[in-house]
Structure 1
C-alpha cells in the first residue's frame, strides 16, 4: 500500500501527465484495496486510510484547479513584463528598487527574457521556497548570472523580485475572486505561514489581504 507525501508535479516536464496520473492512481489504489479487504481492518484504521487517501486526491484536484487558474491569468498577459506595471503603480515596490526602472530603455530581448522569467516564477509559485538554482537552470543561466541580470534590469535582488511577483499574483487572485480565504490565497502563492504572508502583503499594498477580501464582497 502506498504511503507518504506525494511530490509536487513538475508541470513543465514532458511527463507531467504521467506524473499526474500516478499521483491520482496511488490513493485510488489505497481506497480500492481497503474497500475490498475492509474486514481485515479495524474501524479506526479503515477510516484513517480512507480519509488520508481522499484528502490526497482532494489536494491533487486543488493543484490542478490552481494550475488551470494560473494559466487563465497568464493568457491575459501582454508582451511586457509584469514588473514594469507593478513598479509604476506601487510606491512600496519603487522604494525597494535601487534605481528607477525605465522600461523604454530596456531592450526588447531583455523584456522578453523577463517575461519568460515571470512565466517560470508563476509556474512554480505554489512552492514555499523557489530555489534560485532551479530557476537559473530553467532560464539556462548560472545562478550568479541570474542574480546579476535581475539586478541590472530591475534593480532588485532575485528574492525581492520573486516576493513582489508572489504578492502581485495574490492580489490578482483576490481581485478576480479566485480564492475565498486568506489561507487559500497564501497557499496558492507559496506561503505556508498565513500571518507572515499577510504582513508582507500589507507592506506591499498598504492593506491586509483580509480587509481587501472583505472590501470586495
Structure 2
C-alpha cells in the first residue's frame, strides 16, 4: 500500500490503472486550476501549491517506475536455465552427469550465468564447431574457468553440455515440424555427419531422429 495525501493505492488491485489515473488526476487538476486563477493567489502561496502538487505527481511516478523495475528484475531473476528442464525430464541426460544436479542448490547468479551461456550456444548452434576459447571470452571467463564452472554447476564437460543442448534443439525442430528431413535437422544444429548425429540423438532420446520424424507425420 502507498499513501499520498490520504489517497491510497492498492498495488495488487485489478483496477490499479484506474487508481493511478485518479491519483495523478487530483494534483494535475490543482495545477491547472491554480494556473487559470493565479491572480487569486499571492506569489508565495502560488509557488507553494504548484510545488506541492508537482512533488506529489513526481513521487507517484517514481513509485510506479520502481514497482515496474522490481517486477522486471523479479521475472529475469527467477528465469531458470533450460538445461534444468532437460535434466529433470531425461534419464539419459542425468546419466551423463557426473553428479546430481539440484536447481534448488544453484545460486540465482549462477543460474543467470547458465541462461547467458545457453543463449550463446543457441545463437551459434548451426556452427559445426563451437570454439571454447571464443565462448569463454563472451562469458567473461578464461577457458579453464569455463570448464570448471560448467562442471561445478551441471557436472559436465563443456563439449557434453553443448552436445545436450544441440540434440535438445534438434528434438524441438522435429516436434515443431520445422525441418522436413534428418539431414536438414542435423545441419541446423551443427552436425555435418548425419549418421553420427543420428547415433547421438538416439543415445539421448532412445529413438532415432528418422523414426521420431516419421511418427509425427
TM over 0.5: yes
Note the residue ranges of structure 1 that are not aligned, 5 or more in a row: 1-77
Counterparts of 1:170-181 in structure 2 under 5 Å? 170-181=170-181
1:79 positional shift: 1.6
TM superposition score normalised by structure 2: 0.64
1:149 equivalent in alignment to 2:149: yes
1:1-217 → structure 2 map (5 Å cutoff): 79-217=79-217
How far apart, CA to CA, are the structure 2 residues paired with 1:167 and 1:100? 21
What count of residue pairs does the alignment treat as equivalent?
140
1:103-134: per-residue Cα shift (whole Å, max 9, x none)?
01100000000000000000000110101001
**CA-CA distance at 1:82 after TM superposition:** 1.1
State the Cα RMSD in Å. 0.8
C-alpha distance in 1 between matches for 2:117 and 2:100: 20
Matched residue SS, 2:84? helix
Structure 2: stretches of 5+ with no match in the other structure: 1-77
Inter-partner Cα distance in structure 2 for 1:148 and 1:135: 14
When normalised by structure 1's length, the TM-score is: 0.64
State the 1:84 CA deviation. 0.5
Q: 1 CA distance for matches of 2:188 and 2:79? A: 24
Q: CA deviation at 1:216?
A: 0.4
SS in structure 1 opposite 2:134? helix
Deviations for 1:58-109, whole angstroms, at most 9, x for unmatched residues? xxxxxxxxxxxxxxxxxxxx82111101110111110110110000110000
**Structure 1 residue 157 displacement after superposition:** 0.4
The DSSP-based 3-state class of the residue aligned with 1:115 is helix
